[in-house]
Amino acid sequence: MLWLNYIGVSVDGVAWEKDHLRALGINPEELRAHIITHVHDDHANIFDLLINGKRPVIIADHLGFECLVEKASLVLDLDRESVKKMVEWQKVIFGKLFHWLGAEFEFWPTAHPIPTVGFRATVGNQSIVFSGDTLWGERLTQLFNADVVDSELYDATMSAPYRASDLTFHDAGGGLIHPELAELAGLPEQARRHIVPTHLASIPPEFSDKFEVIRPGQTWIIQGDRKQSVSDMLVLSNSPIVHWVDEEWRKVLLAQGRVREHVSGATILNFGQTNKDFFIILGGTVKVMDANQEELARLSTGDFFGEISIMYNVPVTATVKAASAVRLFALDGVIFKQMIGCDGVARRLRKIHAVRPILMHFGIMQSLTPSRLNELAQIVELDRIYNAGEFIIKEGAPADKFFGIIRGRARVQVQGRPVATLYENQVFGEVALIKNTARTADVIAETPVEVFSVSKRHFERFVGQVPMLYYYLGVLAESRQPRKR
């Protein structure tokens, strides 16, 4: 079992895997994926999990996956397509890095009687190598010299003990199809000290000073837990961007993130610099300034920043300084880009980036907090451009939208009589929505008019959560009502 960013991954699942996991105190429901290195009778026995558990992720190359499907089809007496529907296949390609939930994988072919692979898994700067079942050393060299194996397989397999890692599980079972432990013992200390030999029930006395046998239930901790305070956890759980990702990516975020603290007045990001981190504010306030040091906004607990430069691969677009002592949760930009590629998060952020600058020109919106402004940006629709003379809303029609003018000019008329003119950065359509009536006036474009809109359903929900905005729009609606003579 590997635990990568708090996510359970099984390597070549054993028979009766659920029972083994429970005996080790592991809930089988925590197991999210299976890495299949090869399909022998003592490997890839995950059928009880296929039948009774969640739909698992299978991480394998094409041939390995097809072998697994064939075996499952025969054992379960199902056709191959039915088996494939029971799993989610993450295809790996030899020599090409593969990323999954914040972890990086590299796979290579090995020398075994059936198709087999080895791999390296990396989280942050720390790695584990798994050689897979394989011949290695002198006998593999003999096969290479006899043109039985090609250079790609030979080089990849022979390099396993030398690959950068914090821990290397390497086949050492001996016999015809496994390397001898003596060969691994002869490796340089720098390579040998990370090796844990597999396929052995015991270590011969002459090698006991170099290796230790694996014990059932033995655990290696390569990267310890990152401790987070309860208050930090609460802030993160309430941050909008954390809500947008699924449970597994939340685990990655918690595993990979780190806390930074800055004193009041400290510069966190400078306009024009290169940035590699995404930030969520855990406590305190920062001010956002343009290139001329003019303040654009203040961000506080739960707000986020730093994503624009990472998403669009551009220099930082604003200076960010601590307006008070501030605690930040920082996530590496590479992990952040992987995370937002799932669950439509990038789409949400791109819409915020497109709409938020427009909304900030409207006086009615400028008092909204950044988090509320982001929320509003997501429900806004950049509707269309109305031609001069075209009706935007008609008197007496059902009220279905709230509008704002991005550019252009419009005329307001009641029963055919002009009563007002609307200009850029003014809103309209609120009267009928606030008072729950039909439209009380016509609004007609006098020039080409570009508008944004918010549907009635979204308008009512959003305004109901922001009392200040409800009050302001209520006052505005009242001021626009015809005065009684």
Evaluate whether residue 348 is within a structural domain: no
Evaluate whether residue 353 is within a structural domain: no
Per-residue pLDDT, averaged over 449-472, amounts to 92
Percent of the chain clearing pLDDT 70 (strictly above): 96
What confidence score (pLDDT) does residue 51 get?
62
Evaluate whether residue 212 is within a structural domain: no
Are residues 31 and 149 located together in one domain of the fold? yes
pLDDT, one tens digit per residue, over 288-334 is 999 999 998 899 999 999 999 999 999 999 999 999 999 999 999 99
Are residues 240 and 191 located together in one domain of the fold? no
Are residues 238 and 134 located together in one domain of the fold? no
For tokens 């497109």, the residue is 354
Q: Are 253 and 295 in contact (CB under 8 A)?
A: no
Per-residue pLDDT, averaged over 273-288, amounts to 95
CATH code for the domain of 323: 2.60.120.10
Are residues 337 and 408 located together in one domain of the fold? no
Are residues 14 and 104 located together in one domain of the fold? yes
- pLDDT of 342 strictly over 80: no
Of the candidate ranges 162-166, 194-198, 367-371, 413-417, the one whose mean pLDDT is the lowest: 367-371
Per-residue pLDDT, averaged over 341-365, amounts to 90
What confidence score (pLDDT) does residue 46 get?
64
pLDDT, one tens digit per residue, over 127-157 is 999 999 999 999 999 999 999 999 999 999 9
In total, how many domains does the chain have? 3
Per-residue pLDDT, averaged over 434-445, amounts to 93
What confidence score (pLDDT) does residue 481 get?
74
Q: How sure is the predictor about 393, in pLDDT bands with cuts at 50, 70 and 90?
A: very high
Are residues 328 and 390 located together in one domain of the fold? no
CB burial string 408-447: b at 16+ within 10 A, e below: bbbbbeeeeeeeeebeebbbbbbbbbbeeeebbbbbbbee
What confidence score (pLDDT) does residue 194 get?
92
At which of 343, 366, 393 does a domain end? 343
What confidence score (pLDDT) does residue 53 get?
65
Evaluate whether residue 241 is within a structural domain: yes
Evaluate whether residue 349 is within a structural domain: no
Evaluate whether residue 485 is within a structural domain: no
CATH code for the domain of 26: 3.60.15.10
- pLDDT of 485 strictly over 60: no
Average pLDDT, the chain: 90
Are residues 62 and 190 located together in one domain of the fold? yes
Of the candidate ranges 22-36, 110-124, 276-290, 379-393, the one whose mean pLDDT is the lowest: 22-36
Are residues 22 and 154 located together in one domain of the fold? yes
Per-residue pLDDT, averaged over 378-384, amounts to 88
- Domain interval for residue 283: 230-343
At which of 343, 368, 399 does a domain end? 343
What confidence score (pLDDT) does residue 200 get?
87
What confidence score (pLDDT) does residue 293 get?
92
Evaluate whether residue 263 is within a structural domain: yes
- pLDDT of 44 strictly over 80: no
Percent of the chain clearing pLDDT 90 (strictly above): 67
Per-residue pLDDT, averaged over 172-177, amounts to 88
Distance separating alpha carbons of residues 310 and 201, to the nearest angstrom: 49
What confidence score (pLDDT) does residue 52 get?
61
Are residues 294 and 413 located together in one domain of the fold? no
Evaluate whether residue 225 is within a structural domain: no
pLDDT, one tens digit per residue, over 82-102 is 999 999 999 999 989 999 999
Are residues 322 and 451 located together in one domain of the fold? no
Are residues 15 and 142 located together in one domain of the fold? yes
Distance separating alpha carbons of residues 79 and 207, to the nearest angstrom: 49
- pLDDT of 50 strictly over 80: no
pLDDT, one tens digit per residue, over 189-239 is 998 989 999 988 889 999 988 998 888 888 888 877 667 778 888 888 888
Are residues 336 and 389 located together in one domain of the fold? no
